[in-house]
Amino acid sequence: MHYIALATICLLASGINAAPAETKYLRTDDLPKCPKDADQAGDCIKLIMNELIPRLRLGDPELGIEPYDPFVIDRLSFQYSSGAVNGKISVRNVKLYGFAEHTIEKVNVKVNGDKVKLRTVSHIPKMNIFGDYKAELQVNSLQLKPKGTFNVTLFDVENRVVMDGEFFSKDGLRFLRLKDIEANPTVRDMVIKANGIFPDPELDELAVSVANSYWRDIYGIILPETRQSWAPVMLRLINAALQHVPIDQFIQPSE
């Protein structure tokens, strides 16, 4: 039962550079070894994740792990098209603060042959996301080209993640690769600050105040709509990190 590499999924926020010519592997002799039986390993994996998340916050260049608190996004854009609203939104120079305060509350693992299913429930008390944005929107017959800065604070982000993966071998060691990831973050409260929505400052203020009143609706639309933008990026980052993490070191040896 070789499911423990999942422990390192907490690296999911790490940006990864091209791997160095000779791959260095994550070695963590000071961490616990988990039971072989996946059904009994949840709490142990949770412990390892909660140990590694704050430890790796500054990244590890030799493992190709970039710092993830703040997590920096140079550029990301997505197309939006639904009902009365169509357009394109791009963000630049985005910084996300809060990932190192991520606490894993629950871990559930199922292993079936080489296939793995991992479910986690986690909590981030506060996240701050800011950067520059630019959009071209068509709202009914209205053309908008807002451009400015934004600063969004999220409180009590509760995240339920389901990951599907499989084991594979390389250099005589075993690793895990993810095939799919599904995340359902809910947020208790959100404060949105932005400028540049309208050229007129009073209208601008009004728009931000409306956004703050309706953030639940906005969030409910944006999250699923942007999934096809962020899900492949997450998968790529996690899988790049997992290539540096041989999993057997986390599992109790056979009697």
Ligand X SMILES: *[C@@H]1O[C@H](CO)[C@@H](O)[C@H](O)[C@H]1NC(C)=O
| Pair 91, 75: CB distance under 8 Å | yes
Does residue 195 interact with ligand X by CB under 6 A? no
Tokens 């042959």 sit on residue? 113
Between residues 110 and 126, which has the closer beta carbon with respect to ligand X?
126
- Buried b vs exposed e over 74-96: b needs ≥16 C-beta within 10 Å? eeeebeeeeeeeebebebeebeb
Instruction: Evaluate the omega torsion of the peptide bond into residue 146 and state whether it is cis, within 30 degrees of 0.
Output: no
Q: Shortest approach of ligand X to residue 157 CB, angstroms?
A: 15
CB of 170 or CB of 193, closer to ligand X: 193
What is the closest distance, in whole angstroms, from the C-beta atom of residue 97 to ligand X in the complex? Answer: 9
Q: Which residues pair with 175 in a beta bridge?
A: 168
Residue nearest to ligand X (CB): 151
Residues 148-167 that bind ligand X (CB under 6 A): 151, 153
249 Rama sector, left if φ>0, alpha if ψ -120 to 50, beta otherwise? alpha
126 or 145: CB nearest ligand X: 126
Outline where 175-226 has alpha helix (H).
201-213, 215-225
Task: For residue 117, give both structure tokens.
Answer: 């299913």
Residue whose CB is less far from ligand X, 23 or 209: 209
* Shortest Å distance, C-beta 153 to ligand X: 5
Q: Does 212 bind ligand X (CB under 6 A)?
A: no
Site for ligand X in 57-116 (CB under 6 A): none
Q: Which of 28, 86, 128, 252 binds ligand X (CB under 6 A)?
A: 128
Task: Provide the binding-site residues for ligand X, judged by CB under 6 A.
Answer: 128, 130, 151, 153
